[in-house]
Structure 1
């Protein structure tokens, strides 16, 4: 196996990870017929580095290693999308046209994923989306070449947003990252708030990428007198918002922060003293059951940040793709992305991160969603022990109903 990159900066970003070979890139023409090329496209140096980046790469390498004796080879490439749609789509096109890549994994920021979604469909390859949140990927922008694995804005809105309203948070003000993901998360959460009888008092859009100082936006939200400030952002933006809100003493004044997309590495960065009591939704937690604990133990020597659902999604999605490729034959899998995704949909999913599941007709991977509360410092039993489970939404209820998304190829 080999991993490759076209960007010197990524070599530095992933330097701590163990290499899996060092062969140079080969052209698409020279690619062996029994070799599958998988490329991870995400953020290796910016806002989302800790929740995707090197740790997700390590998880994808693990999935590839588990297929090292199945009669075909797996090569893993990776690159930094810089959270820019043009950079991501150009890199995906280059990988496919020049380097013979068969599968693009992750995508990163929703605006990037939507652009990559079009490229992969045009080239009839496979897109395994593992961290982009917009529910449009299985709705108005659905593609027969795409599987949306880990979570989406509809699910997050229902789980975290819905629970917050039920707990009395019936007036909201949003601090929203100004791109496709933030807009979709605000939109979907607004629907659940209003359906539950709540009100949205306003919102403010924050530059993405482009700022680490959210103080003026937080004070604007505070001035609205809303009971809940909904953080429709992720990664270091969420971390900075929560830290700065704590500095202003918002939660001490009774204002609830709803972190609509928060990951375990974010809690690690914030610290339990500040993050305690926050609620969030993930579809994977390392200490959820025996299988998740076993997976984490296996990965622990190769990672430096806590595992979150994005990392687990990279492992599980690639593993299921490789199972499908082995089942249908590598040559056929490489030749037709739509047929390969159809085979993935036809096969039941099962892995140590998410357990049993399935991929729906619109490309939505179904599995349970878990609502967590961040523990108090005195409740934590040790390293990475940050969550306590509040409720579980079963897979058949966690995601938007198939008929409500507007996917063009979904049969009535």
Structure 2
């Protein structure tokens, strides 16, 4: 018999029921179906994914009664420390020795590109929800790789284009000096120029930087109308907090967070973040389905709201398990093929298509942080400005460098 909270979770879902018919001839490779959450558990991105992604994956498994095709579903996790070498070694060990069937989250872009190479070689499924690089569905795409949540192109299209069209026609970037930051600055700069704006300069900082004073002075000296932060996690928190202390906003410059999570708004507070425009794939207060799932996630994760990465991990793991059930096997190639055939359906997605390059074409939301007096309670931080259809938000197949795309 299922625990009461699991039974309630299953009963309340609008999407496919927990107890779907099982294939008559199920083929499972060993004694369990194992999903590994590999992400940052201890550093700059821990609040974005971390244990919250583990909780999200477990919620998805619970919908199936933690059992599928007559085998238990096991969720394991490890800390990549945002290092590609650790991510690659862990993914290889998991698959070769620990019989992990799929890897979820991925965290930093460099780590995720390394994971994708291993899972591609081993023909296992990679459910990327943490990384931003659009190269995962571009030149480094994989037949068993899937990119949920967001990418640098969609973030740039949403925030960069919108602010430039609103009069922010000169930009200066403060950029994290690794794959993700470079890609985000590149993609945003392209949309700024397409919208008639100019990029006046940029400066790059190491990951996990505490002191942004020299970078902010350069941004201030540029006199750009918009200062774009092409970073994330605590790097973004530190940069925005210090920008307020340096008086950039009082001096007339507008702050643009190119990758902002609800955890950032929570950490900084609405007095600091009010008016900030950002792009996200998930907001808990969008409709009744997201509010219902938010209550379940918060109950399992210390009252916190899920970031879009954590919500994306749930969506990805749930879709993977549905595909395993439909395919009647945990074979990576068979499951990946089924995942592409089936639409993504959950609390945040309605019949969403997955393209041949692995891009999940869900909608994106352009949001703005509320003023303190507008907030009605805990985690009530955003006003939704507009909804951007997935077919519009993400790079088109005509622009793709993915070798899986038929020309």
User: TM-score, normalising length from structure 1?
Assistant: 0.90
Map of 1:206 onto structure 2: 205
CA–CA separation in structure 1 for the residues paired with 2:388 and 2:207: 31
8 Å Cα contact 1:272-1:374 kept in structure 2: yes
2:121 aligns with: 122
Within the candidate set 398, 403, 408, 2:403 is matched to 408
Structure-2 separation of matches of 1:338 and 1:182:
32
Contact 2:228 2:258 in 1 (8 A): yes
2:3 alignment partner in structure 1? none
Q: Distance in 1 between matches of 2:285 and 2:350?
A: 14
Other structure's SS at 2:398 match: helix
Structure 2 residue 239 is matched with structure 1 residue 245: no
Aligned residue for 1:264?
Answer: 262
Unaligned runs of 5+ in 2: 1-27
Determine which of 12, 34, 39 is the counterpart of 1:37: 34
In structure 2, the partner of 1:144 is 143
Partners in 2 of 1:97 and 1:359 — Cα distance?
28
SS at structure 2 position matched to 1:202: strand
- The CA distance in 2 between the partners of 1:52 and 1:308, in whole Å, is 7
Deviations 1:319-358 (A, max 9, x none): 000000001113xx23xx2332111010011001333312
2:343 alignment counterpart: 348
Q: Secondary structure at the match of 1:307?
A: coil
Q: CA deviation at 1:299?
A: 1.5
Q: Which residue of 2 aligns with 1:358?
A: 353
5+ unaligned residues in a row in structure 1: which ranges?
1-30
Once the two structures are TM-superposed, the CA of residue 32 in structure 1 deviates from its matched residue by 6.7
- Separation in 1 of the partners of 2:322 and 2:205? 41
Could you say which residue in structure 2 is the equivalent of 1:294? 292
For residues 104-151 of structure 1, give each alpha carbon's deviation from its aligned partner in whole angstroms, at most 9, with x where no partner exists. Answer: 101110011111110111111010000100001111111111000110
CA distance in 1, matches of 2:308, 2:349: 9
Q: Distance in 1 between matches of 2:353 and 2:221?
A: 45
- Partner SS for 1:50: coil
Mapped partners of 2:182, 2:365: distance in 1: 23
Inter-partner Cα distance in structure 1 for 2:346 and 2:405: 26
Q: Match of 2:20?
A: none
Q: Which residue of 1 aligns with 2:17?
A: none
Tell me, yes or no, if structure 1 residue 191 matches structure 2 residue 174. no
- State the alpha-carbon separation in 1 of the partners of residues 90 and 54 from structure 2: 17
Equivalent position SS for 1:184: helix
Query: Which position in structure 1 is the counterpart of 2:5?
Result: none
> Does the 8 A contact of 1:283 with 1:354 survive in 2?
no
Q: How does 1:13-412 map to 2 (within 5 A)?
A: 33=30, 35-68=32-65, 69-70=67-68, 71-209=70-208, 211-304=209-302, 305-330=304-329, 333-334=330-331, 337-412=332-407
Report the secondary structure of 1:366's partner residue.
Answer: coil
Task: Provide the residue aligned with 1:25 in structure 2.
Answer: none
Secondary structure at the counterpart of residue 350 of structure 2: coil
Task: Output the CA distance in 2 between the equivalents of 1:72 and 1:298.
Answer: 25
Residue aligned with 1:362, SS: coil
Counterpart contact for 2:297–2:305, Cα < 8 Å: no
2: distance between equivalents of 1:338 and 1:203?
42
